[in-house]
Amino acid sequence: MISKTAQSWQHPVSWQTALAQAIRDPAELLQRLSLPLDLLPAAQAAARLFPLRVPHSYLQRIQPGDPDDPLLRQVLPLAEECALTDEGVADPVGDLNAMASPGLLHKYHGRALLVTTGACAIHCRYCFRRHFPYASSNPLHQHREATLAYLREHTQLNELILSGGDPLSLPDSQLAAWVRECESLPHLQILRLHTRLPVVLPERVDDALCQWLSATRFRTVIVLHINHPREIDTTVGRAIQALRDSGVTLLNQSVLLRGVNDSVATLAELSQTLFAHGVLPYYLHQFDPVQGAMHFAVPLGEGQAMVAALRTRLPGYLVPKYVQEIPGMAAKYPV
Ligand SMILES: *Cc1c(COP(=O)(O)O)cnc(C)c1O
Ligand code: SF4
């Protein structure tokens, strides 16, 4: 078979090695970025609640010496995470109530979402799944048969979404085997992956991944998760191109985050940079009120004003849909 990924390239190290080398020690992060050491006690305390993890390729995109860098803010544990407030809940989007089978969420018509793994290559401090009980609800391993039975019986499903954690933190052998099994269910037509790995660990986009993506009978969609235009550098651009060459439709979702992308100029530049790489903006999520991350919240009114301003600056196809996930609703709610 002719591979669609003619332009493959060699990464200096395998993605597994790059992942294993990710920075996990707050002291090392501060030192490498020439940041003041007085940030350390808070970073260590917050990292005990949700560990620090930053791959080296992402680190290279952070401006050294700037504690307010928008990329740094997404990964640096802060004292605010430990502050006890009564705002923010453990499961803000109602995932636990929507579980149809362990690790399988069937909230919306025609689409089922699998929480495939808890693992991620990066730990985003604002993550709304930081409290999800991954270990007890793995749909691809101990609950594989139950997952398949559910998918087989629910013939109204036409799209299977792999999410997480990050589904691309699973090895290609496992993913390809799972996808092959799902291909035998004729009602499934679309395979979608929600992933941040091509952006935070571009080494992940290698020949093995592109091969099974090119080979599947499913129409494939990857929803990337990029919050700031500076997250896209040359290597990430090449990873995105390789995914496009594998026949994947590429979309992006962002979360509106205080101190990261809470300005019209940044959001506009993000949309334009995405499109320069052939990626369309899909969703801009209102931040979910999750415990320990409330300092990222941007009030709805402020978000609405920014999106209204975006609409006057950009073509409609570059304005993401500003949405919120409200437990019990039949779709993401436009705000
Ligand atoms: C977000 C989400 C989807 C996908 O929704 P789209 O509007 O199709 O992007 C599907 N299932 C669950 C449980 C979700 O949270
Ligand atoms: S990549 Fe996604 S799931 Fe993983 S920590 Fe970041 S926001 Fe959470």
Q: What is the DSSP string of 185-242?
A: -TT--EEEEEESHHHH-GGG--HHHHHHHHH-SSEEEEEEE--SGGG--HHHHHHHHH
Residue given tokens 């004003």 in the structure block: 305
Higher pLDDT, 252 or 99: 252
Q: Is residue 77 a contact partner of residue 42, using CB atoms and an 8 Å limit?
A: yes
> What is the Cα–Cα distance from 259 to 35, expressed in whole angstroms?
17
Binned at pLDDT 50, 70 and 90, residue 8 comes out as low
* Ligand 1 pocket test, candidate residues 108, 219, 284, 333, most atoms within 8 A of CB: 108
Query: What pLDDT sits at residue 84?
Result: 67
Binned at pLDDT 50, 70 and 90, residue 9 comes out as low
Helix (H, G, I), strand (E, B) or coil at 88: coil
Task: Please state the pTM of the whole predicted model.
Answer: 0.95
> What is the Cα–Cα distance from 265 to 258, expressed in whole angstroms?
14
CA-CA distances (angstroms) from residue 104 to 46, 124, 138, 154? Answer: 30, 23, 9, 12
**Which ligand does the CA of 251 lie closest to?**
1
What percent of the chain is predicted at pLDDT more than 70?
92
* Ligand 1 pocket test, candidate residues 223, 332, 333, 335, most atoms within 8 A of CB: 332
Binned at pLDDT 50, 70 and 90, residue 99 comes out as confident
- Average pLDDT over every residue of 197-219: 98
Residue 56 CA, ligand 1 centroid: distance in Å: 31
Query: What pLDDT sits at residue 5?
Result: 47
Report the mean per-residue pLDDT for the chain.
Answer: 93
Query: What pLDDT sits at residue 138?
Result: 86
254 phi/psi in degrees, rounded to 5: -130, 165
> What is the Cα–Cα distance from 36 to 27, expressed in whole angstroms?
10
- Average pLDDT over every residue of 180-194: 98
Provide the residue type at 110 as one letter.
G
Q: Is residue 151 a contact partner of residue 111, using CB atoms and an 8 Å limit?
A: no
Cα dihedral 58/194/95/105 (nearest 10): -150
Binned at pLDDT 50, 70 and 90, residue 327 comes out as confident
Q: Atom 11 in ligand 1: which residue has the minimum CA distance?
A: 113
Query: What pLDDT sits at residue 128?
Result: 73
Residue 27 CA, ligand 2 centroid: distance in Å: 22
Q: Domains of the chain by range and CATH?
A: 16-82 (no CATH), 89-334 (3.20.20.70)
Binned at pLDDT 50, 70 and 90, residue 4 comes out as very low
Query: What pLDDT sits at residue 137?
Result: 75
- Average pLDDT over every residue of 133-140: 76
The CB density around residue 13, as the number of other CB atoms within 10 Å, is: 13
Q: Is residue 151 a contact partner of residue 185, using CB atoms and an 8 Å limit?
A: yes
> What is the Cα–Cα distance from 34 to 63, expressed in whole angstroms?
10
Q: Is residue 18 a contact partner of residue 55, using CB atoms and an 8 Å limit?
A: yes
Higher pLDDT, 309 or 328: 309
Please check the confidence at residue 7 and state whether its pLDDT lies above 70: no
Q: Atom 8 in ligand 1: which residue has the minimum CA distance?
A: 111
The contacts of residue 186 (CB under 8 Å, 6+ apart) are none
